[in-house]
């Protein structure tokens, strides 16, 4: 099962490239399920938190796939906030049917650039009074006075390309120009394609992530049954084998994010079965839609899927 991040959709894994991750998985013999959870721009926008997805979306999706296929176990490739929320569910013991998890960018320890820390600490309280959401799509289609003002301010400071959505993505999610990929890693068709792949992200998410960044690890913001208050306070309640992927050039979540979570798992499970891949020359999303990802990244993921279960 492929799980996307915040403010995008399952089609994230099917960019206009000759060979996508979906193609690689199908060619390798896997049944591929692409999940649109409540953060998807293909669904009506709602306020949400990571707690919502961890307690409801991911366990329900896993149960559905298991019931539909009749398989006793399954595997997941999860990205960004799909990864954080899925890891919350896994560490809390809510998805026991999953025996392998490949996570990209961030899992239990969100570490962000210094400028991003400043943004999320200072802007989030103001945003809660000004708008229910941010939307990188405002780069092409601002839908009100606040959206137009935000767009103008961002584009004045981000001049790295002529794609206004690309520039808005960098402001919304990171601290680079660009923040989520290297332009050198994207072909022209993919760089243009991203204009339609980013949408609304609720301020409720940024408020939770600010608390997590301040804590140094994921924390719940609700009292939902089954969730944990602190996801690093004790050993993970899962037997799944984890493989952590991190682009060395990621300016959304620094590679130390995955390094710390891998070390957390290694501390509690020193058998060496959980792995870490730090990818030179890659950032946040070019791991999936970089023009050379089929050569540089997908074989590593396929090898991890073929590895032994714990």
Per-residue pLDDT tens over the stretch 24-40: 999 999 999 999 999 99
Task: Based on the fold, state whether residues 70 and 142 are members of the same structural domain.
Answer: no
Range of the domain at 253: 2-110+217-305
Q: For residue 243, give the 3-state DSSP assignment.
A: strand
Q: Is the pLDDT of residue 94 over 90?
A: yes
Look up the CATH number of the domain holding residue 280.
Answer: 3.40.50.1820
Q: What is the rounded average pLDDT of the residues 100-108?
A: 99
Burial class from Cβ neighbours inside 10 Å (0-12, 13-18, 19+) for residue 156 reads: exposed
Q: What is the rounded average pLDDT of the residues 4-13?
A: 99
Contact 246, 212 (CB under 8 A): no
Task: Based on the fold, state whether residues 228 and 288 are members of the same structural domain.
Answer: yes
Which is it for the CA torsion 273, 278, 267, 239, positive or negative?
A: negative
Residues in the chain, overall count: 310
Strand order in 2-3's β-sheet? 34-35, 2-3, 74-79, 98-104, 241-247, 275-279
Paired tokens of 97: 């049917």
pLDDT in the model for residue 309? 80
Residues 6+ apart with CB under 8 A from 57: 35, 37, 38, 85
> What is the average pLDDT score of the chain?
98
pLDDT in the model for residue 151? 98
DSSP string, 40-84: -TTS------HHHIIIIIHHHHHHHHHHHH--S-EEEEEEHHHHH
Task: Based on the fold, state whether residues 227 and 253 are members of the same structural domain.
Answer: yes
pTM for this model (two decimals):
0.98
Paired tokens of 281: 């020359």
Paired tokens of 213: 């960044």
145 part of a folded domain: yes
Task: Based on the fold, state whether residues 102 and 223 are members of the same structural domain.
Answer: yes
User: Tens of pLDDT along 125-177?
Assistant: 999 999 999 999 999 999 999 999 999 999 999 999 999 999 999 999 999 99
Angle, helix 203-215 to helix 114-130, in steps of 10 degrees = 140
pLDDT in the model for residue 310? 75
Contact 92, 237 (CB under 8 A): yes
Task: Based on the fold, state whether residues 84 and 224 are members of the same structural domain.
Answer: yes
210 part of a folded domain: no
pLDDT in the model for residue 245? 99
124 part of a folded domain: yes
pLDDT in the model for residue 260? 99
Contact 286, 293 (CB under 8 A): yes
User: Tens of pLDDT along 43-71?
Assistant: 999 999 999 999 999 999 999 999 999 99
Task: Based on the fold, state whether residues 136 and 196 are members of the same structural domain.
Answer: yes
Determine how many CB atoms are found less than 10 A away from the CB of residue 15.
22
Task: Based on the fold, state whether residues 26 and 78 are members of the same structural domain.
Answer: yes
CA torsion, ordered 279, 285, 287, 291, to nearest 10 deg = -120
Task: Based on the fold, state whether residues 181 and 232 are members of the same structural domain.
Answer: no
Q: Which of 304, 301, 305, 247 shows the shortest CA–CA distance to 278?
A: 247
CA distance 282 to 223: 37
Task: Based on the fold, state whether residues 181 and 269 are members of the same structural domain.
Answer: no
Among 176, 203, 230, give the residue marking a domain's end: 203
pLDDT in the model for residue 129? 94
209 part of a folded domain: no
Number of folded domains that form the chain: 2
Residues 6+ apart with CB under 8 A from 247: 105, 255, 278, 279, 281, 282, 283, 284, 286, 287
C-alpha distance from residue 91 to each of 55, 99, 217, 246, 278 (Å): 12, 12, 13, 20, 22
Task: Based on the fold, state whether residues 62 and 90 are members of the same structural domain.
Answer: yes
310 part of a folded domain: no
Q: Is the pLDDT of residue 195 over 80?
A: yes
User: Tens of pLDDT along 184-194?
Assistant: 999 999 999 99
Q: What is the rounded average pLDDT of the residues 253-266?
A: 99
Contact 74, 97 (CB under 8 A): yes
158 part of a folded domain: yes
Among 138, 173, 203, give the residue marking a domain's end: 203
């Amino acid at each position: 099962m492929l799980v996307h991040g915040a403010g995008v959709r399952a089609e994230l894994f099917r960019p206009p490239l000759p060979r996508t991750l979906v193609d690689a998985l199908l060619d390798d013999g896997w049944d591929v399920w692409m999940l649109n959870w409540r953060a998807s721009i293909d669904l009506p926008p709602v306020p949400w938190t990571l707690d919502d997805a961890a307690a409801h979306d991911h366990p329900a999706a896993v149960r559905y796939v298991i019931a539909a296929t009749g398989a006793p176990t399954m595997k997941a490739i999860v990205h960004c906030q799909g990864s954080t929320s899925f890891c919350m569910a896994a560490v809390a013991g809510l998805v026991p049917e999953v025996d392998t998890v490949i996570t990209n960018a961030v899992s239990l320890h969100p570490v962000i650039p210094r400028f991003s820390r400043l943004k999320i600490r200072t802007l989030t309280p103001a945003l809660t009074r000004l708008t229910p959401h941010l939307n990188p799509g405002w780069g092409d289609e601002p839908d009100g006075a606040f959206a137009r003002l935000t767009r103008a301010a961002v584009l004045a400071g981000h001049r790295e390309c002529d794609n206004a959505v690309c520039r808005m993505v960098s402001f919304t999610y990171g601290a680079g120009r660009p923040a989520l990929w290297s332009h050198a890693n994207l072909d022209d068709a993919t760089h243009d394609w991203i204009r339609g792949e980013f949408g609304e992200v609720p301020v409720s998410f940024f408020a939770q992530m600010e608390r997590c960044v301040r804590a140094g690890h994921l924390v719940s913001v609700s009292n939902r049954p089954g969730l944990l208050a602190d996801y690093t306070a004790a050993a993970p309640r899962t037997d799944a084998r984890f493989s952590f992927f991190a682009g060395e050039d990621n300016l959304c979540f620094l590679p130390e994010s995955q390094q710390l979570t891998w070390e957390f798992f290694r501390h509690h499970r020193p058998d060496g079965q959980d792995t870490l891949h730090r990818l030179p020359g890659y950032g946040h999303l070019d791991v999936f839609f970089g023009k050379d990802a089929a050569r540089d990244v997908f074989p590593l993921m396929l090898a991890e899927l073929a590895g032994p279960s714990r």
